[in-house]
Amino acid sequence: SMPFTVQPLREAFAAIDLRLLDAAATLRAGALDRFFNLVLPLSRSGILTAVVITFAHTVGEFGVIAMLGGSLPGETRVVSIAIYDYTQALDYGAAHRLSFILLGFSFLTLLAFYSINRRVLRPLQLR
């Protein structure tokens, strides 16, 4: 999932006008001040986009989890592997229920992210 995180972050950081950072430096703003007061607020949409895309990609991840042993009996249980196990056991009802729960969780999480995005980023863009 790293490429899904890096791409929006790289684009957001590249879109920052370096003249703003130079102007802040001439006003004696330190590196941390410039980062927290300029870079982070200006790249907030890219950060939220990276979080949403990475979440959407990893919530249903199956291949890596299956290869790395994501379902150790009595220790760990990942939803995507549980759905696979129920399907292999021909318990389609349980697989459907878990799939619906995973879909609902993903939808509600993305809805919350978009709601936060609208509330947080709109005022920043109107300034």
Q: Is the pTM of this model over 0.85?
A: no
User: Which residues form the domain of 92?
Assistant: 60-127
Q: Which of 83, 112, 85 is nearest to 100 (CA)?
A: 83
Whether 50 and 78 share a structural domain: no
Indicate the number of domains in the chain: 2
Whether 81 and 115 share a structural domain: yes
Whether 20 and 78 share a structural domain: no
Whether 35 and 86 share a structural domain: no
| Rg for the chain, CA atoms, rounded | 21
Determine the pLDDT at residue 68. Answer: 66
DSSP 28: T
Whether 76 and 124 share a structural domain: yes
92-126 and 44-59 helices cross at what angle (nearest 10)? 180
* H-run or E-run covering 127: none
Whether 45 and 68 share a structural domain: no
Whether 121 and 104 share a structural domain: yes
The rounded average pLDDT for each run of 10 residues, N- to C-terminus, in the chain (127 residues) is: 87 92 92 92 87 79 65 70 88 93 86 76 54
Whether 41 and 88 share a structural domain: no
> Considering 59, 76, 96, which residue would you say is the last residue of a domain?
59
Phi and psi of 62, rounded to 5°? -125, -50
Determine the pLDDT at residue 70. Answer: 60
44-59 and 2-14 helices cross at what angle (nearest 10)? 170
Whether 72 and 123 share a structural domain: yes
